[in-house]
Structure 1
Amino acid sequence: MKKKMLVVLMVLLATILTACGGSSDASDNADGKVKIRLLTRMAGTSTQAQIYKDIIKEFEAKHSDVVVVDESQGDESAFNNKLKTDLASGTLPNIFRVQGVANLNEYIESGLLMDMDPILKDDPEWGQNFTEGALKYYQVPGHEGTYGIPMESGLIGVYYNEELLKKAGINEFPETWSDLTAAVKKLKGIDVTPIALGAKATYMAGHLHNQIFYKWMGTEAAKKLGTRELKWTDPDVVKTLEYVEDLNKLDAFGKSAAGISDEIAVADFLEGKAAMIITGPWNIGKFTNPSETEYADAIKLAKFPYFDEKPEFKDEDMQIISPYMVNGKLEGKEKEYTVELLKMLTSAEAAKRFAEEAQFLIPRSDIAIDNSKVSDLFLHNIELGATSTGIAVDVFDFDPLPSMQDRTRNSIVSILIGGKPKDAAKEIQDEIDKSK
């Protein structure tokens, strides 16, 4: 009996030590190596994921006393579930990411996020060459410091097949909403899906609504939803959901959009079954690769059309801004090694390789990109992104309620299967109201 009690106590002690996390002792393997755990979205077989893995291998080769455990997840739901589990158990990775800024306040106050300002200042060659706007995104009102290092940026816009548009009698990409709806009708006439949308991966429906929202109300309105100055049931906000319904009624996405994956949507676009797709620069490598699509020379990029009556929001855009964040509990050699790896992943040298080999943009001002090694599509993304007068990621990124990611996206998807915009708006607002 005593032996059993001893085993139970040992297991309990091990559990407590694991839950504390963040100290050098807790991160050591049995063989004495320092363990650095990563949880990012850099996973899979993409070129950018391979570059990321190469840098990790290079880092491990430099340090025989370190082992890197990469638990990164390419699938958004799998990533979110893993991060939630780590947060709940108190076993945060060394390097991870929290998308959006609304909840950073809570993480900063609990010491879960490292203030990167001292590190940025101590190494000016590395730290002073991130673009100002990208760093500012991770500076939180009420707290001094910078709580994330931007590792990806770029315009999320409309990639379109110029060849298919011309076949439908559309000689220029639709600049306004009325132009877009007219183009949808013409594309239906040549038996092509106007806009590829795989809403089974709910983020695609969310990105569609984000584009509409920012062009109708501007990026500042998303912040007002987060501070509760606006409600989802306010007429202008409901109107943004009605525009989703309008496109759906025009059969802009095909009959089965709610049930297909994002991979299928991308494949349909690459194969010329769909004329447009709303996505970010992470797909440029596929769009410009002749082995992926016969339309590589025909694929172009534009901003999402603006509303005729709202020209003031023409350049209010959705852009991807993704971070690496560092566990605020790290100490000693574990902290030292973690920071070194972070710098290697976001250096000017790494940024050059990501850009030239993967068309993947780290927001640094000191990247010596060889234009002959990148596509015109990639360069055009950079040029268009530089014209944005307002920038935001997802609308829910400004909301302090963690459940809003799933709630907003699922409610938007409901519109694609016959739900009413007012009901979707009420469903989202109810989620907020019941949390008070």
Structure 2
Amino acid sequence: MKMKLVLLLIVSFSIILAACGGSEEKSADGEDKIEIRLLTRMAGTTPQVEIYQNIIKEFEEKHPEVVVVDESQGDESAFNNKLKTDIASGTLANIFRVQGVANLSEYIESGLLMDMDPVLEDNPEWGEGFTEGALKYYQVPGQDGTYGIPMESGLIGVYYNEELFKQAGIKEFPQTWSEFLTSIEKLKGIDVTPIALGAKTTYMAGHLHDQIFYKWLGTEAAKKLGSRELKWTDPGVVETLEFVKELNDKNAFGKDAAGLSDDIVLTDFLEGKAAMMITGPWNISKFTDPNESQYADSIKVAKFPYFEEKPEFKDEDMQVLSPYMVNGKLEGKEKDYTLELLRMLTSAEAAKKFAEESQFLIPRTDIDIDESKVSDLFLRNMELGSTSTGIAVDVFDFDPLPSMQDRTRNSIVSMFTGASAKEAAKEIAGEVEGAEK
């Protein structure tokens, strides 16, 4: 309750300070320029970021009376800190994103999020192109409307080096957990790290647990954790943590995984020092580039193995699903220009460019992809993702406590340095109990 009260106070304070993110400056002819601020995760030097930035330049050339200030952050912690600061100071960006969906009601009720339904309806050629499931993810129980526009989707799967698998005597990617464990032992036998995972960057360990959780309990169980129908100390939930511990104890990630960052293990995978990597489609352009990896033709993708005891959850999958959200306080021309930029960033034309030039997938049904311009790996990811019967992002996305992102990931990582699954579960449950006091 304490954490929820803090969030409500921050949100309330932001209303008092006027949450609009735009400001004005003078153009060359002395007219006031309208400023549009962006705070997204589209930052860095990747091909998709370059496309994103080119669309912004195109928009500015079309509208010299507008200046776009892009404050996007590629690093997750830096992004979260920036967003918290903006909310607390009442300077929320025009276009931004919120991690997870559990707390969206507070943002909606405070007016910080714009309902996108009228925008979708007013622009049917654009609005009707999004996949129904992706839009539905941002429709909040108890609230009318849609409060995010999906800008990225794709299966988070297991990318593997087929050549190394063959060297280890593995004919095909393991479908079940027991086959997975057998493959890990075979890969250790040829002196490669079975799974490239760096626990220093805690999201990688978190994503591993997410995959196991959905295959063992299903995606709906994550919602039950968020609503407190399930507890982290319940036997079934603890078992999901025990599977992570089991992999670590078997040296599936090598001996020093706790101190490794994601960029180091990515390099290990590209160089053939590791046989598998659990990641999303954002790395496909690297995996298929012969300048990045000599194994570019050998890297394949598969779903995370399912448990023989739980065949009903075979196709319960973790997928990346990221949104653009719009400041609900915008008015007049600033609102109109912001929505126009949003449509340009997520149009069918933009989606085609993102797919063909950077293998980055916007969840639209009206993308006319030239298959000769995308890799087989990208198409395979799309194919596998289309078979998901249940979709979720991170387990903590459904939890109303903002602190659960760090708490769950840090506790999972603690098992890499000696903690037991029960100890990790108790620590996470303690976060919930402390907030409810």
TM-score, length-normalised on structure 1? 0.95
What secondary structure, in the 3-state scheme, does the structure 1 residue paired with 2:435 have? coil
Partner in structure 2 of residue 331 of structure 1: 331
Q: Do the aligned partners of 1:215 and 1:306 also contact (CA within 8 Å) in 2?
A: yes
> Is residue 209 of structure 2 the alignment partner of residue 213 of structure 1?
no
Partner in structure 2 of residue 379 of structure 1: 379
Partner in structure 1 of residue 417 of structure 2: 417
Write out per-residue CA displacement over residues 199-231 of structure 1, whole angstroms, 9 at most, x where no aligned residue. 111110000000000000000000000000000
Distance in 2 of aligned mates of 1:35 and 1:322: 24
Partner in structure 1 of residue 232 of structure 2: 232
Q: Do the aligned partners of 2:205 and 2:412 also contact (CA within 8 Å) in 1?
A: yes
Q: Which residues in structure 2 correspond to 1:49-88 (within 5 Å)?
A: 49-88=49-88
What secondary structure, in the 3-state scheme, does the structure 2 residue paired with 1:434 have? helix
Q: Do the aligned partners of 1:218 and 1:313 also contact (CA within 8 Å) in 2?
A: yes
Partner in structure 2 of residue 297 of structure 1: 297
Partner in structure 2 of residue 95 of structure 1: 95
Q: Which residues in structure 2 correspond to 1:196-275 (within 5 Å)?
A: 196-275=196-275
> Is residue 309 of structure 2 the alignment partner of residue 309 of structure 1?
yes
Partner in structure 1 of residue 395 of structure 2: 395
Distance in 1 of aligned mates of 2:188 and 2:422: 28
What secondary structure, in the 3-state scheme, does the structure 2 residue paired with 1:435 have? helix
Distance in 2 of aligned mates of 1:363 and 1:431: 35
Partner in structure 1 of residue 7 of structure 2: none
What secondary structure, in the 3-state scheme, does the structure 2 residue paired with 1:150 have? strand
Q: Do the aligned partners of 2:19 and 2:87 also contact (CA within 8 Å) in 1?
A: no
Q: Do the aligned partners of 2:157 and 2:301 also contact (CA within 8 Å) in 1?
A: yes
Q: Do the aligned partners of 2:19 and 2:112 also contact (CA within 8 Å) in 1?
A: no
Q: 1:115 to 1:255 in 2, by over 3 A?
A: same
Distance in 1 of aligned mates of 2:87 and 2:208: 30
Distance in 2 of aligned mates of 1:374 and 1:265: 25
Distance in 2 of aligned mates of 1:235 and 1:227: 17
Q: Do the aligned partners of 1:238 and 1:425 also contact (CA within 8 Å) in 2?
A: yes
Q: Do the aligned partners of 2:354 and 2:361 also contact (CA within 8 Å) in 1?
A: yes
Q: Do the aligned partners of 2:15 and 2:110 also contact (CA within 8 Å) in 1?
A: no
Q: Amino acid of the residue matched to residue 411 of structure 1?
A: S
What secondary structure, in the 3-state scheme, does the structure 2 residue paired with 1:391 have? strand
Q: Do the aligned partners of 1:48 and 1:360 also contact (CA within 8 Å) in 2?
A: yes
User: How far is 1:21 from its partner?
Assistant: 3.8
Partner in structure 2 of residue 363 of structure 1: 363
Q: Do the aligned partners of 2:195 and 2:276 also contact (CA within 8 Å) in 1?
A: yes
Structure 2 gaps of 5+ residues are: 1-13
Write out per-residue CA displacement over residues 122-156 of structure 1, whole angstroms, 9 at most, x where no aligned residue. 01000011000000000011111100000000000
> Is residue 286 of structure 2 the alignment partner of residue 286 of structure 1?
yes
User: How far is 1:99 from its partner?
Assistant: 1.9
Partner in structure 2 of residue 12 of structure 1: none
User: How far is 1:17 from its partner?
Assistant: 12
Q: Do the aligned partners of 1:36 and 1:68 also contact (CA within 8 Å) in 2?
A: yes
Of the candidates 7, 10, 24, which is equivalent to residue 28 of structure 1?
A: 24
Q: Amino acid of the residue matched to residue 298 of structure 2?
A: A
> Is residue 151 of structure 2 the alignment partner of residue 151 of structure 1?
yes
Cα RMSD, aligned residues only = 1.2
User: How far is 1:22 from its partner?
Assistant: 1.1
What secondary structure, in the 3-state scheme, does the structure 1 residue paired with 2:173 have? coil
Distance in 2 of aligned mates of 1:145 and 1:20: 23
Q: Do the aligned partners of 1:21 and 1:27 also contact (CA within 8 Å) in 2?
A: no
Distance in 1 of aligned mates of 2:239 and 2:367: 42
Partner in structure 2 of residue 9 of structure 1: none
Q: Which residues in structure 2 correspond to 1:176-215 (within 5 Å)?
A: 176-215=176-215
Write out per-residue CA displacement over residues 138-191 of structure 1, whole angstroms, 9 at most, x where no aligned residue. 001111110000000000000000000110111110110001111111111111
What secondary structure, in the 3-state scheme, does the structure 2 residue paired with 1:85 have? helix
What secondary structure, in the 3-state scheme, does the structure 2 residue paired with 1:199 have? coil
Q: Do the aligned partners of 2:355 and 2:361 also contact (CA within 8 Å) in 1?
A: yes
What secondary structure, in the 3-state scheme, does the structure 1 residue paired with 2:276 have? strand
What secondary structure, in the 3-state scheme, does the structure 2 residue paired with 1:52 have? helix
Write out per-residue CA displacement over residues 395-425 of structure 1, whole angstroms, 9 at most, x where no aligned residue. 0000000000000000000001111110110
Q: Do the aligned partners of 1:18 and 1:91 also contact (CA within 8 Å) in 2?
A: no
Structure 1 gaps of 5+ residues are: 1-15
What secondary structure, in the 3-state scheme, does the structure 1 residue paired with 2:297 have? coil
Partner in structure 2 of residue 431 of structure 1: 431
Distance in 2 of aligned mates of 1:30 and 1:260: 48
What secondary structure, in the 3-state scheme, does the structure 2 residue paired with 1:68 have? strand
Q: Amino acid of the residue matched to residue 418 of structure 2?
A: G
User: How far is 1:28 from its partner?
Assistant: 1.0
User: How far is 1:18 from its partner?
Assistant: 11
What secondary structure, in the 3-state scheme, does the structure 2 residue paired with 1:98 have? coil
Q: Amino acid of the residue matched to residue 163 of structure 1?
A: E
Partner in structure 2 of residue 168 of structure 1: 168
Write out per-residue CA displacement over residues 236-287 of structure 1, whole angstroms, 9 at most, x where no aligned residue. 0000000001000100001111111111111110000000000000000000
User: How far is 1:27 from its partner?
Assistant: 1.4
User: How far is 1:19 from its partner?
Assistant: 4.0
Write out per-residue CA displacement over residues 77-119 of structure 1, whole angstroms, 9 at most, x where no aligned residue. 1111111111111111000001211010110000000000000
Q: Identity across aligned pairs (percent)?
A: 76
Distance in 1 of aligned mates of 2:413 and 2:291: 33
User: How far is 1:29 from its partner?
Assistant: 2.1
